[in-house]
Structure formats: structure tokens, C-alpha cells
Amino acid sequence: MRIAGPAIILSIRAHGEHGAIVRALTRSDGVQAGYVRGGRSRTLRPILQPANTISGEWRARTAEQLPALTVELVDTRATLHGEPLAASALEWLTALTAAALPEAQPYPRVYDALDGVLGAIAVAPSARGWATGLVRYELLLLAELGFGLDLSACTVSRATEDLGYVSPRSGAAVARGAARGYEAKLLPLPDFLREGGAAEWPDIFDGLRITGHFLARDLLPGPRSDVLAARERLVERLKRAVA
């Protein structure tokens, strides 16, 4: 077994006295785990950071064996771990991806989207520059794993205009007219989730509320719900930053 190519580091776990088990997302081969000899050394610790992009090579004699992984740094995002908002975003994105994706299944669109939102966090002057991308990434992950929302038409009237809400039960859009009298039971649908473009903070938080509901219900139930604590920390920091 041999896999080689760029990968985004999702998690690192100490193994033995000096080594580390690294899980990383590749574009063509999905999430791959590997043992990095000396992964806790001064040389490799700066490379083995969540959200860094590496060039990795996984080698194993059998499919059942944990591969040995060698790494070279391609793009570091280590400095972002010193910025509270950016660090929270990196923690959540990598934890979410690691918890949600099955091993060794290719999700090229997820890889490209994750790479894009991590890049936006690295260059954006403020959180509003990447927060919409983070919400869209969550929405894409839901869709790629079979829990996509239907925001194309009203689930009641099939109208395609004036869509203002999402049903928390079905994940389908609801037009404002059809929602009359039931608004309190529905999730407000911000325009940027359907039309793209920038968004103001109230709309961003509405988007986070939608994706957060379906992530918790469909993608991260039971034992995997532990990773949602990272999302809660991120949302609280975003709220404090814009208060």
C-alpha cells in the first residue's frame, strides 16, 4: 500500500515515546491515518499542526497495517493558532472533518472547500471575511454525506421566490407566505446561503444556527457530539467579537 500527495492535517495523537499518529485529508484518497516516526520532535512538531498542508507519503506492507507516514511541509497555518478567533475556527473545522468523514473515502469537493476556507482564514483581515465560507463548508459537508438541505423551492407551495425559512424537521426551504403563523417554529434562511456573496453578521449567525442544528442532529449524534464543544466556543467568540 502506497499513497502520496498533498493532505490537510486534521488531528495528531501522541503514540509511544516519540511518535505520533496523524490523520490527514487527501483529495483522492480521503482521510488517511499514518504513524510518523519522531512526530513529537522539535523538527516535526511545527509541521504536525492541525490545518497545515503537507506532502505526505503513506506506506504499509498490508492493508490492515497502520502505514508509516513521512511528511514535508507545504503550507503552514501555525501562526493562526495564536489568534483566538482564527484558532477556534481551525480547531472546529479540523475536528468536524475528522469526526464526520469515513476513512479512505474520497471527497474531492470537501478537500477543495476545506482548503479554500482555511486559506480565507489565513488572509482575511476580519472574521466576517471567512465566516460565510465556514457556514458554506458546513452546508457542503452535510450534502456530501447525504444530509443535504433543499433550499431550491418551498416545501409547501413549491415556490422558488421569497424563501425566508428552513424547516428544522425536513431541512427544506419555506416561503414567507407559507410560513405565516409558524415563524417561531422555523429557522430564518439568510440570502447568502442560496445566492452566495457577502453577508452581515445577523445573517451569518442565522446561517450558523441552521447548519448547527443539522450537524448536531444528523452528522454528529451520540459519541461524536463531543466535537460540537469546539463549535460552541467558536460561536461564542464570534458573538463577543461583534458585540
Q: What is the pLDDT of residues 45-102, one digit of tens each?
A: 999 999 999 999 999 998 889 999 999 999 999 899 999 999 999 999 999 999 999 9
What are 87's strand-pairing partners?
A: none
* Whole-number Å distance between alpha carbons of 25 and 33: 9
pLDDT of residue 165: 98
**Residue 221: all three cell numbers together:** 449524534
pLDDT band, residue 243 (cuts 50/70/90): confident
Intervals of CATH 1.20.1440.120 along the chain: 79-242
pTM: 0.95
Q: What percent of the chain has pLDDT over 90?
A: 90
Intervals of CATH 2.40.50.140 along the chain: 2-76
Residues 10, 192, 123, 232: is their CA dihedral positive or negative? negative
What is the rounded average pLDDT for all residues in the chain? 95
| pLDDT single digits (tens) 185-223 | 999 999 999 988 889 999 999 999 999 999 999 999 988
In the predicted structure, residue 108 carries a pLDDT above the cut 80: yes
pLDDT of residue 1: 86
**Residue 216: all three cell numbers together:** 448536531
* Whole-number Å distance between alpha carbons of 212 and 142: 10
Burial of 68 (0-12, 13-18, 19+ CB in 10 A): middle
Domain at 2-76, CATH from 1.10.10.10, 1.10.760.10, 2.40.50.140, 1.10.3720.10: 2.40.50.140
Higher pLDDT, 37 or 17: 37
Task: Go through the chain and tell me how many residues it has.
Answer: 243
**Residue 63: all three cell numbers together:** 492493508
In the predicted structure, residue 224 carries a pLDDT above the cut 90: no
pLDDT of residue 136: 97
pLDDT band, residue 126 (cuts 50/70/90): confident
Q: 100: closest CA among 230, 4, 227?
A: 227
In the predicted structure, residue 125 carries a pLDDT above the cut 80: no
The CATH T-level fold of domain 79-242 is: de novo design (two linked rop proteins) (1.20.1440)
pLDDT of residue 64: 83
